[in-house]
Structure 1
Amino acid sequence: MKSDFYTAISQIAAERGIPKEAIIDVMEKALITAYKRTLGNNPPPMEVTVRLDQQTGAARVYAEKQVVDDVLDDRFEIDIADALKVKADAQLGETVVVESTPHDFGRIAAQTAKQVVLQGIKEVEREYIYGEYMDREGELITATVQRMAKGNVILEMGKAEAILPPKEQVDNDRYYHGQRLKVYLMEIRREDRGPRLIASRTHKQLIMRLFEMEVPEIYNGTVELKSVAREPGLRTKVAVAARQEGIDPVGSCVGMRGIRIQNIVNELNGEKIDVVQWSSDARDFIANALSPAQVVEVHLNEEEHAALVIVPDKQLSLAIGKEGQNVRLAAKLTGWRIDIKSATALLEEERAASEARGYAEAEQLQTEAELANARVETRKVRPDGRVVYQNHQYGPLGNDLIGESLQLRATSQKLYIYHHDRLIASYILVEDDGTSLVDDEE
């Protein structure tokens, strides 16, 4: 019949989810420490082992003792006659391992066992928790809210506890004791006080794991989740593509009557989710990413990795979204910088640009006509590098032209200066202020 000791060890092991052998191992190590305390402050170095009888719970100590003729301290020494009973070839001066269980060691063992149950077993449990969860980093875990502590939400995950830090909490979520929710196991830290499990409700990988759970096609690989853009608690955009011909990736994610996507929305407490078709063509992908807005056309600037998107006038506010949310998420989803304009605004800009070009062309034609009819006048460049025209100085033109003869032609607005029939400068004509300068004419 099994003893109460064995039954207690088995019960602790079952409750904590760790092997009873590990508990016994911890208790034996603790008993070794307890025995060494009975040897005084500075015992000589010796090998000590403790064996626990799993049936009776009795502890037996085996320690090294030195073989001597005359025993002065039986804690560390053994008579040669007794040593020969343990080891037939024992000799003086060597050490032998013999049973050294003190008379009151049962009481010490009981106290130590209690301490181990209260302290040591927790360390073993932490190690097994770390071993159990170390390979689950990056998984979706169902947890129960246990309590709040300094802004952190403490979650219970089976035998382990996880922390949901403030920055990993969604503003719209309201946490209360006993609440069950799904979290993303973001990180597992191994610390002195045991493993520290960090969970998240804001990580975009949480979205990917929820889709894998709700959409079989994503889990088995026939539909691929290409990218995710998320503003936690508000809105998420997901781009999906089919890996198998004949499958509708968006329809697979939404589900019949929207049941699949609704399950994900409910888990996220009403966070809006847009599922869009991914495309290798950047224009199509950007247009899809701006869903539910309709897009007229997309112009790409490859050098700046920017896109100009034209939408109908009535779709402009929908394409931009509340406080720019829709276009911001579309930019994150596609990786392109997106600028949105309405069709009317684009037409007005093109009309204004066309008018500006027309004015510039007309002005150019007028200037060319005036220059063709303008009188050519000759001036020498003064020592200060300037020329005088109609009582006003223009320049400087450069020291290399000092003393050179230049040709001047004037329109109604500007003065054009040539050297050997090559235009070298032009100046806006200065209005006459009555100052008289002598022209240096040839």
Structure 2
Amino acid sequence: MNSDLFEAMEVLADEKGIDREVLYEALDAAIVSAYKKNFNSKTNVRVELDSEDGLMKVFARLQVVEEVEDEDLEISLEEAKEIDPSYELGDIVEREVTPRNFGRIAAQAAKQVVTQRVREAERGVIYNDFVDRLDDIMIGTVQRKDQRFLYIHLGKVEGKLPFNEVMPGEVYNVHDRIKVYVTKVENTSKGPQVFVSRTHPGLLKRLFEIEVPEIYEGIVEIKSVAREAGDRSKISVHADDPEIDPVGSCVGQRGQRVQTVVDELNGEKIDIVHYSEDPVVYISNALSPSKVTEVLVDEEEHATTVIVPDNQLSLAIGKKGQNARLAAKLTGWKIDIKSESEAEESGVYNQTGEQDEFEEVLEDFDGEVDND
């Protein structure tokens, strides 16, 4: 019977991908529990397992004392020295107490404990696997839905996609395949909980990393992402090598690369802009597709006043302020947009030769892309 038990443990370890030490620790605890329960013993015991020979032994552990007060826990110094003269007070004497036919009892008692430990260990393996997928894209299948979540089959675990993390206009049915972004992985008493999203800015970033080899290889870097899922997004990109066009790399030949991302996001418009350490240049690029006349920077307040031609004001602000809002998220700067007429009336702007100088600064950074 012992051999069968050990063989079953080996099969479990291989099938579940669980460390054998974890299983044998569980078996050890189960046998100790079985011994104490079935033989009404409070003795401290140690289990010795020999998987190669299929042997299982139980040893009582007794402390050497001058005068025995509890025979289940103690042994006298005199009796201990009869076993081995080297024993001294405080030592532990081990005595084999394995009952006859104990293997069958141990196997039966161990089943529940080992099953629980196996379940816990398997959950740990799954949790570790999915923690490694945090902030990554996974492809799954819609399994079911309730009032709060779409439940996505992701292999060994079911991902939860909250309805407020589904892009506007998207409707999914059971068995539909879907790309999702892993936002959170929790290890709970019910097993690993994986939460996913379709609206997270990280989804857009990872899609570009997949589609653009230069980003994957580190030649082009995505500096920032601002997203209003299902409607419009902006990303800023940079390349250390001046010979590399980061915007062009993301757009691809005939716009093929960016279009693939747009298609995955069901037509979400994407502006790709050059990143710059200079806030004047960066903010001007971020307000694409509008043209900018001047950017006035307040370093202390981390705020800017952007002046645009009168006929560009509505374009710069965008529908319901969207373009300005996304540009502010992208750059991290507060942005106040004024038309040239408004700026002149308020005295913050005078049309002088400074505009030509401003345009020269921007000349090398003209690479914005607007995918309408």
Q: TM-score, normalised by structure 1?
A: 0.63
Deviation at 1:167, TM superposition (A): 4.8
Q: Which residue of 2 aligns with 1:310?
A: 308
Q: Which residue of 2 aligns with 1:127?
A: 124
Q: Percent identity?
A: 47
CA contact (8 A) 2:317 2:323 kept: yes
Question: Are 1:16 and 2:16 an aligned pair?
Answer: yes
Deviation at 1:252, TM superposition (A): 0.5
Deviation at 1:253, TM superposition (A): 0.8
CA contact (8 A) 2:141 2:178 kept: yes
Deviation at 1:74, TM superposition (A): 9.9
Superposed CA RMSD: 4.1
Q: Which residue of 2 aligns with 1:382?
A: none
Deviation at 1:309, TM superposition (A): 3.0
Q: Which residue of 1 aligns with 2:94?
A: 97
CA contact (8 A) 2:5 2:107 kept: no
For residues 325-350 of structure 1, give each alpha carbon's deviation from its aligned partner in whole angstroms, at most 9, with x where no partner exists.
2222122212334344556xx28x85
Q: Which residue of 2 aligns with 1:159?
A: 156
Question: Are 1:251 and 2:251 an aligned pair?
Answer: no
Partners of 1:94 and 1:150 in 2: how far apart? 63
Tell me, what secondary structure is at the counterpart of 1:291? Answer: coil
For residues 156-201 of structure 1, give each alpha carbon's deviation from its aligned partner in whole angstroms, at most 9, with x where no partner exists.
4443454444554444444444544444433444445555444343
Tell me, what secondary structure is at the counterpart of 1:227? Answer: strand
Partners of 1:282 and 1:251 in 2: how far apart? 22
Q: 2:239 aligns with which of 238, 242, 260?
A: 242
Question: Are 1:224 and 2:225 an aligned pair?
Answer: no
Q: TM-score, normalised by structure 2?
A: 0.73
Tell me, what secondary structure is at the counterpart of 2:94? Answer: strand
Where relative contact order (Cα < 8 A, 6+ residues apart) is larger, the structure is 2
Larger-gyration structure (1/2): 1
Letter in 2 for 1:203: H
Letter in 2 for 1:300: L
CA contact (8 A) 1:212 1:219 kept: yes
Tell me, what secondary structure is at the counterpart of 2:272? Answer: strand
Partners of 2:276 and 2:296 in 1: how far apart? 15
Distance 1:157 1:83, change over 3 A: farther
Letter in 2 for 1:27: L
How do residues 53-68 of structure 1 correspond to structure 2 at under 5 angstroms?
A: 53-54=50-51, 59-64=56-61
Q: Which residue of 1 aligns with 2:33?
A: 33
Structure 1 residue ranges without an equivalent (≥5): 354-442
Deviation at 1:53, TM superposition (A): 4.4
Q: Which residue of 1 aligns with 2:362?
A: none
For residues 246-299 of structure 1, give each alpha carbon's deviation from its aligned partner in whole angstroms, at most 9, with x where no partner exists.
111111111223232233233334332211122333333233222233x15124
Partners of 2:133 and 2:84 in 1: how far apart? 52
Partners of 2:85 and 2:228 in 1: how far apart? 79
Tell me, what secondary structure is at the counterpart of 2:257? Answer: helix
Distance 1:221 1:62, change over 3 A: same
Q: 1:327 aligns with which of 319, 324, 338?
A: 324
Letter in 1 for 2:320: E
Distance 1:173 1:98, change over 3 A: farther
CA contact (8 A) 1:138 1:186 kept: yes
Q: Which moved more, 1:135-144 or 1:116-125?
A: 135-144
CA contact (8 A) 1:16 1:159 kept: no
Distance 1:27 1:334, change over 3 A: same
Aligned length: 340
Question: Are 1:300 and 2:282 an aligned pair?
Answer: no
Partners of 2:86 and 2:333 in 1: how far apart? 85
Distance 1:63 1:122, change over 3 A: same
Deviation at 1:113, TM superposition (A): 3.6
How do residues 209-220 of structure 1 correspond to structure 2 at under 5 angstroms?
A: 209-220=206-217
Q: Which moved more, 1:261-270 or 1:142-151?
A: 142-151
CA contact (8 A) 2:308 2:316 kept: no
For residues 50-89 of structure 1, give each alpha carbon's deviation from its aligned partner in whole angstroms, at most 9, with x where no partner exists.
2444357554322225899xxxx99779999x98997576
Deviation at 1:239, TM superposition (A): 0.8
Tell me, what secondary structure is at the counterpart of 2:230? Answer: coil
